[in-house]
Amino acid sequence: MIFNSLGLLLVATTLLQLLHHGTGQDCKLADENVKEIMIEQLKNDCLKKGYESSLTGCEAEGEPKLNKKQRKKCDKTEKKLEACDANCEGKTLNSLQSSIYTLLVIYYSLT
């Protein structure tokens, strides 16, 4: 019973904090289609030319063949996608969805 109340309190408090602070404040790509287009751009213009990305599932293909200007463009694209919690593995989760999922896992593990 104590764990149930504690878990529910934890979930409620965290959701209120998320709603109060807002989500995706760093993400400047509001439209999901724009994210998908930018991921494809990263894959075609950067990863296929050997760009080493830190995004999940984004693997470089072969040796780096980018000049300084191309690398800078890839860095900018990656930074925008990173702020939106994007990855190369398929659908992206925004920070609110990700937080809610984590909270639900914690809550159900306590009950």
Distance CA 81, CA 10 (A): 30
- Does 85 or 8 have the greater pLDDT score? 85
The model's pLDDT over 46-94, given as tens digits with 9 standing for 90+, comes to: 999 999 999 989 999 989 999 999 999 999 999 999 988 888 886 555 5
pLDDT at 48: 95
Q: What DSSP character marks residue 47?
A: G
Distance CA 13, CA 34 (A): 32
Neighbours of 90 (CB within 10 A): 8
Q: What DSSP character marks residue 26?
A: T
CB burial string 75-85: b at 16+ within 10 A, e below: eebbebbbebb
pLDDT at 110: 75
Q: Report CA 25 to chain centroid distance, whole Å.
A: 13
**24 contacts 82 by C-beta, under 8 angstroms:** no
The model's pLDDT over 19-46, given as tens digits with 9 standing for 90+, comes to: 444 445 578 877 778 888 899 999 999 9
